[in-house]
């Protein structure tokens, strides 16, 4: 009976140690993952087409690493961050530049004559809302430019549309008056 109790206590102790090790391994794994830049992620962000559907998960992974490095207290104190941070910042700058170029190119599609603006906004630009959010959070140097480009494009479109509407109203008013 004493042997059984001793074995049960040892078993309980071992299971607690195992659970603690698994928890530590999981947390350490998340910590290491947050501080590393996989070569595939770097290659995908630098070379993959921004308009492809595979680019957004790469941007999400980059966002996760950027936020982890800036928000995690232990990551801020880690010596490994000194090695990773310059590369992470270079990658952030390249990603924001590529996203900026892609978004401005999509805005330029709106400037074409006889474009269905509503459909283009709903089907194309809504897919880019995550990109705009990324720029807002991690590209403060380019986000105002992207926002200004969109505002400028839409103001030109609305000015042109209201000008055409006004001239049509004046034409109808002139016909009614005569």
**Predicted TM-score of the model (pTM):** 0.77
141-158 pLDDT, tens digit per residue, is 999 999 999 999 999 989
pLDDT-based confidence at residue 123 (cuts at 50, 70, 90): confident
Would you give the distance in Å from CA 24 to the centre of its chain?
Answer: 30
Question: Given this model, what pLDDT does residue 82 score?
Answer: 79
- Mean pLDDT along residues 70-87: 79
Would you give the distance in Å from CA 59 to the centre of its chain?
Answer: 5
Q: For residue 178, is pLDDT > 80?
A: no
Report how far residue 7's alpha carbon sits from residue 16's, in angstroms, rounded to the nearest whole number: 14
Report how far residue 172's alpha carbon sits from residue 176's, in angstroms, rounded to the nearest whole number: 6
Question: Given this model, what pLDDT does residue 83 score?
Answer: 82
pLDDT-based confidence at residue 128 (cuts at 50, 70, 90): confident
Specify the higher pLDDT residue, 70 or 11: 11
Structure tokens at 141: 């140097």
Question: Given this model, what pLDDT does residue 42 score?
Answer: 92
């Amino acid at each position: 009976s004493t042997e059984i109790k001793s074995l049960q206590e040892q078993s309980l102790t071992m299971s607690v140690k195992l659970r603690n090790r698994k928890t530590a391994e999981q947390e350490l794994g998340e910590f290491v993952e947050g501080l590393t830049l996989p070569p595939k992620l770097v290659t995908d962000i630098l070379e993959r087409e921004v308009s492809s559907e595979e680019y957004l998960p790469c941007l999400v992974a980059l966002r996760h690493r950027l936020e982890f490095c800036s928000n995690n207290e232990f990551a801020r104190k880690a010596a490994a961050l000194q090695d990773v941070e310059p590369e992470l910042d270079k990658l952030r700058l390249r990603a924001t530049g590529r996203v900026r170029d892609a978004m401005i190119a999509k805005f330029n599609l709106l400037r074409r004559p006889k474009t269905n603006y509503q459909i283009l906004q709903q089907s194309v630009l809504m897919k880019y809302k995550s990109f705009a959010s990324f720029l807002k959070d991690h590209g403060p140097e380019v986000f105002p430019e992207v926002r200004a480009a969109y505002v400028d494009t839409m103001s030109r479109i609305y000015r042109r549309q209201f000008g055409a509407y006004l001239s049509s109203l004046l034409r109808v008013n002139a016909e009614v008056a005569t």
